[in-house]
Structure 1
């Protein structure tokens, strides 16, 4: 019986998973290089969908001391980057990285697993800067099993809300990202930009970069942060630079007349 690959990957989600990376990985706190490793490993704790970097303890500057704070209360279900790093789902010990100028409290985790002996998993957000080789990395480690494809399409894409058309195009770029629904990025000329109001919201994607957001004003209703764009994208997002995408889970999307 054939196995769908996505089901195979999802079936392993309850396990502690790891994958070595050949990249040189560095992490900085202020101007201090705290981590410099050519033997890093990507680690997914059980139920985590985004990996963290783990490095040999010898590749980390500073003292590792036990984090004496009580562990956060666990919860069932998928763990996303919005869940704190200290919410661990595998046995091990939480650690503070002690530097001369400050403590990075709870920034490391020593998993109690023989395959990761001598390694510590690191909290991405505890450090001020990360480098993969000589390129600054943002958001999170990049997952080697995820990819992005940006493809032009002449499909007829219409985005609307309660009968009011917000976008109508045959010039979209479809962004396909592993495990996620396709997103249609639309030229501004094909969008009712007079209905959009910029907001102060921003998000960061490890692959596409930093997104800016707009709300949509539809009659007497405001739809907050329902549109976004990558104005200065990273490499993977260059084909959609400056185009507008819609949070279609909150709107109506039709492609070639078919509702999605």
Structure 2
């Protein structure tokens, strides 16, 4: 019987998942070694959508100690891996802090070079990964071999395809056309449920001013955000661009994309159903 790979991956979303990597993986804290391993695994806790690195404890150069109670589980899970204050969200995107754990284990603090990061490690309780420690990404400088990493470890099953398309893309907000073009580049990324439409600046029908949001993608680099400001219309941080992209996103350098899950999109005049994503609402809005 044929199996949909998309369905299989979705069915595994609630499981603890891992993939060994042949890369040399290193983490540093202010230049001091935290971990150096050729036995790392990419690990997804249940409901996590991006991976972390887990390494054997003997490959951790930093000192590890039990995390204080306040840092061990601020709204996350207890040692039994029960539900926490993540609200039983179907997907835990990168905005959900590392301290929210969905698998059994023990939170640890990391000390390197005299600096202590509370709760930045997690000793896994799963017998198949006995002795492995998951490390938070944000506090440390990470390297695959000698390549610095951004945002989070790169998923080997994740890829980006950028395709020029002559189909007409029109983006609106409550009847006001924000942009329209038949020169968009469509960016397809992993299993994300919709493409992103990257538009040339000449496609814009409203002025953009620099926004306040800054985001980082492990595959595309650091994004600058843009706010629509027109008479009677202000949409904060509704669009973004990669002005100095990572190599995966070079084809969309300088082009503008919109959070279309908050807007109305028409392809060749036909409306596109809005998908539900972690970016469906502005940051901080319920």
TM-score (norm 2): 0.86
Counterpart CA distance in 2 for 1:143 and 1:240 is 21
After the TM superposition, which residues 177-188 of structure 1 pair with which residues of structure 2 at under 5 Å, given as runs? 177-180=189-192, 181-188=194-201
What is the rounded CA distance, in whole Å, between the counterparts of 1:252 and 1:98 in structure 2? 49
Q: Report the equivalent of 1:121.
A: 134
Distance 1:125 1:198 in 2: 25
In 1: Cα distance, 2:154 partner to 2:175 partner: 39
How far 1:111 moved relative to its partner? 0.7
Deviates more, 1:235-244 or 1:26-35: 26-35
Residues 1:241 and 2:249 are matched in the alignment: no
Alignment partners' CA distance in 2, 1:130 and 1:32: 12
Matches of 2:134 and 2:60 in 1, distance apart? Answer: 11
Preserved contact between residue 164 and residue 218 of structure 1 (Cα < 8 Å)? no
Could you tell me whether the CA contact under 8 Å between 2:29 and 2:112 is conserved in 1?
A: no
Task: Quote the residue 2:36 is aligned against.
Answer: 36
> What does 1:102-251 align with in structure 2 at a 5 Å threshold?
102-127=115-140, 129-180=141-192, 181-192=194-205, 195-251=207-263
Match of 1:72 in 2: 74
Q: What secondary structure, in the 3-state scheme, does the structure 1 residue paired with 2:186 have?
A: strand
Q: Please say if residues 202 and 210 of structure 1, whose CA atoms lie closer than 8 Å, have aligned partners that are also in contact.
A: yes
Asked if 1 retains the 8 angstrom alpha-carbon contact of 2:33 and 2:62, the reply is no
CA distance in 2, matches of 1:109, 1:219: 51
Partners of 1:233 and 1:165 lie apart in 2 by 27
Q: CA deviation at 1:245?
A: 0.5
Matched, 1:254 2:254: no
Query: Aligned pairs, how many?
Result: 258
Structure 1 residues 14-53: aligned runs within 5 Å: 14-53=14-53
Query: Over residues 51-75 of structure 1, what are the superposed CA-to-partner deviations in whole Å (9 max), with x where a residue is unaligned?
Result: 1000111111122111131422313
2:257, 2:151 → 1: CA distance? 20
Q: Deviations over 1:114-165 (max 9, x none)?
A: 21112100000121x1111111100011111221100111111111223332
* Structure 1 CA distance for aligned equivalents of residues 28 and 164 of structure 2: 39
TM-score, reference length from structure 1? 0.95
4+ residue segments displaced more than 3 Å: none
Work out whether residues 212 and 237 of structure 2, in 8 Å CA contact, stay in contact via their aligned partners in 1: no
Aligned with 2:248: secondary structure?
A: helix
Contact 1:157 1:168 survives alignment (8 Å): yes
* Contact 1:201-1:213 at 8 Å conserved across structures: yes
State the distance in 2 between where 1:250 and 1:80 align: 18
- d(CA) in 2 for partners of 1:222, 1:36: 48
Q: Deviations over 1:13-58 (max 9, x none)?
A: 1111111011111111001122111111011111111110001111
Q: Are the counterparts in 2 of residues 215 and 227 from structure 1 also a CA contact under 8 Å? A: yes
1:58 and 2:88 matched: no
